[in-house]
Amino acid sequence: MSAPSSTTAPSLQSLLESQKEWARAIVFDGKGHIIARTSSAAAVQESEIRSYLTALDDRDTTIGSGFVLEGERFEVHRFHPPLVYGRRGGPEYGEGIALAKGTGRSGEVLFCLITYTLPVLSARAVPQLVKFFRTHLDDGWLHRCFQERQRVAKQIKERQRGEAEGSAARGATIRAKYVCTLLGGHDALTGFGAIALDNHCRHPTDTDQRAFPQGTCGGRQDLSLPS
């Protein structure tokens, strides 16, 4: 399998080596054939790489089994196609791992796998991986995936905001009906809006206190209005 049409394997290796914050980096195709790698990843076997080909197929399987590279197991804690990443080790020593999948400029499936050690964290290395893939390997598919994720996230946020506003409006209506019932029903309060009703019992006037003795309409603490 040849490298992407606009990037030869030797130059791709140089580009990988230029990422100084990555411990190891490997680019391979959809059949598990290694196209380019850093010298630090020279010991990685293609037989080991093939286990990554299905890493983005099923979240539960990937998180459950984790990643294995050169005999070391990494816990996978983030599954966000076209990205998967995780870490091994503890607070004093740790190594992160991240995998990106996309299509090359000739239409072939490509993967880029990187590892990175402390103090480099996923928050720094993963954006570097995305930028590298989009700049040197991708035909735009990875970019479209991120655009779609942003669009869906925006829709979810707008729906949640609408639900919150609707809930607040329903709460105001319930409070108004509650007060209306306590004070004798709708007919006794003709001309009062929901806000006036709510305010009437939150801040009773002297006249209110005489007309509705303490315990009948003595304010929020006595009526126990639903919030």
The arithmetic mean of pLDDT across residues 112-136, rounded, is 94
CATH value at residue 23: 3.30.450.30
Please give the C-alpha separations between residue 37 and each of 2, 24, 26, 194, in angstroms, as whole numbers. 14, 8, 4, 69
| 30 and 118, same domain (yes or no) | yes
What would the two tokens of residue 129 be? Answer: 């991986």
What would the two tokens of residue 170 be? Answer: 């329903």
Q: What is the average pLDDT score of the chain? A: 78
Instruction: Tell me which residue range forms the domain holding 122.
Output: 9-148
Q: How close are the terminal C-alpha atoms of the chain, in Å?
A: 65
175 occurs within a structural domain: yes
| 188 and 125, same domain (yes or no) | no
| 122 and 179, same domain (yes or no) | no
What percent of the chain lies above the pLDDT cut of 70? 67
pLDDT at 65: 94
pTM of the model: 0.61
Q: In terms of Cα–Cα distance, which of 114, 109, 110, 107 is closest to 84?
A: 114
| 27 and 114, same domain (yes or no) | yes
| 80 and 131, same domain (yes or no) | yes
pLDDT at 69: 96
| 145 — pLDDT class (breaks 50, 70, 90) | low
| 130 and 208, same domain (yes or no) | no
pLDDT digits (tens, 9 = 90+) for 79-108: 999 999 999 998 788 999 999 999 888 888
| Counted domains in the chain | 2
148, pLDDT greater than 70: no
Q: In terms of Cα–Cα distance, which of 140, 129, 99 is closest to 4?
A: 140
